[in-house]
Structure 1
Amino acid sequence: MEVYQIQIIETIIVIIIVSILRLLSKKIISKVGSKFKYQSGRIKITNKIVGFLLTIILAIFLMVIWGVNQSDLVLFLSTILTILGVAFFAQWSIISNITSTLIIFFNHPIKIGDSLWILDKDYQIEGKLSDIGIFFITIKTKDNMKITMPSNVFMQKMIKKVDAI
């Protein structure tokens, strides 16, 4: 067999394995999510993260199969990571918002769909938490207005969870 035929067969095998792993991970995440009664939004995001990680693993395996030089790959990855590091350092608030979003999503007592009051001396907000994005949270008020707030600001406010609005 030619070298390319072996590489094509290896590529197909790796793609099949990653596809099977993706299906298995979705089933496992769904079972765990229903067992612990996680919100469907959390399950979807977790599936996306696992899918993204599996795609990265697939890309790495394909690069190895097709003979990408490891020193070139390390140089490329270190360049990308350096650029990202400088960008995040220059915009520290981005990191702060991402970190705050993770804390809100996984460990905050307020969850999507909960009614809340943000107790602020200048501007009180009353509504339901409708979305937790990467950088912002969205609150829907009684008047059907949507208020977005940076996640790190949300973390710094006193919040009162209410039964119904």
Structure 2
Amino acid sequence: MKDLLLTYQSELFRTLLTFLILGITRFISIKAIRKVGRISDINEIRTRLIVKYVVVGHSMLFLAALLLIWGVSIKDLGLILSSVLAVIGVALFASWSILSNVTAGVILFFSFPFKIGDRIRVWDKELEYHDEFIIEDIRAFHVHLRKPDGELVTYPNNLLLQKAISLLGPLDEDTEGSEAV
């Protein structure tokens, strides 16, 4: 056991250092995301979704660092990665809209000026209904918009970044009562 530790002392130290650095940056990133979510009054479910993305990203970085630290042959790794990336590339090309909606969901988390419960108008010529919507839920792939007549419309996140949207204000309890009468 002593010989093993002496032989791989440098790799073990680098692994421990990488683990500590990525652990600290992961902790700081998660704290920052939760603080942004709390300050911006963003739904807790959306905040947890972004935290999951950060955890997956840090895990992938850690795995890549371990491969480099422990001296995996770049040629062997290149062959494996090119094969895996070719398969993933075909899959992502086939589901490009899913990837763009997830990316838009992350962007909307940090810069979306609307919250759940706000009234908005979406200026989309393909959308036949141009009155107001109430934002009911914001998810990873899409937003649930509720028409005043109660119909639920699912709208993709990537279109929210592409289309003009008017903020009509938050939904007030007085407005709900007057519409019901």
Report the TM-score range of the alignment, normalised by the length of the smaller protein: 0.5 to 0.7
Structure 2 matches for 1:57-68, cutoff 5 A? 57-68=61-72
- CA 1:2–1:38: 2 relative to 1, 3 Å: farther
Question: Which of 52, 55, 78 is 2:82 aligned to?
Answer: 78
CA distance 1:125–1:59, shift in 2 (3 Å): farther
**Could you tell me how far 1:72 is from its partner in structure 2?**
2.0
- TM-score using structure 1 length: 0.66
Which moves more between the two structures, 56-65 or 90-99? 90-99
Deviations 1:7-29 (A, max 9, x none): 79444554344323322333344
**Corresponding position of 2:179:** none
Post-superposition CA distance 1:55-101 (Å, at most 9, x none):
11111222234443322222222222222322333444345544554
User: For 1:67 and 1:15, how far apart are their aligned partners in 2?
Assistant: 17
User: Which amino acid is the alignment partner of residue 40 of structure 2?
Assistant: Y
Question: How many percent of aligned residue pairs carry the same amino acid?
Answer: 34
2:155 maps to 1:149: yes
Q: TM-score, normalised by structure 2?
A: 0.61
Task: Return closer, same or farther for 1:116/1:47 CA change in 2, 3 Å cut-off.
Answer: same
Mark the runs of 5 or more structure 2 residues left unpaired by the alignment: 177-181
Aligned ranges 1:58-137 → 2 under 5 Å? 58-98=62-102, 100-101=104-105, 104-118=108-122, 122-124=128-130, 126-137=132-143
Using the TM superposition, name which of 56-65 and 88-97 deviates more. Answer: 88-97
Matched, 1:22 2:23: no
- RMSD (Å), alpha carbons: 3.8
Query: Aligned with 2:66: secondary structure?
Result: helix
Instruction: Name the larger-Rg structure.
Output: 2
* 1:143, distance to aligned residue in structure 2 (A): 6.5
- Rate the CA distance shift 1:20–1:156 in 2: closer, same or farther, 3 A: closer
What is the SS of the residue equivalent to 1:2?
helix
The amino acid across from 2:143 in the alignment is I
Q: Which residue of 1 aligns with 2:167?
A: 161
Alignment check: 8 A CA contact 1:97 1:134 kept: yes
Aligned to 1:2: 3
Asked if the contact 2:49/2:140 (under 8 Å) is kept, the reply is: no
Paired residues, number? 163
Whichever residue aligns with residue 38 of structure 1, its letter is S
The aligned amino acid for 1:151 is N
CA separation of 1:136 and 1:159: change in aligned 2, threshold 3 A:
same
Check the 8 A contact 2:42/2:115 in 1, yes or no: no
The structure 1 segments of at least 4 consecutive aligned residues displaced by more than 6 Å after TM superposition are none
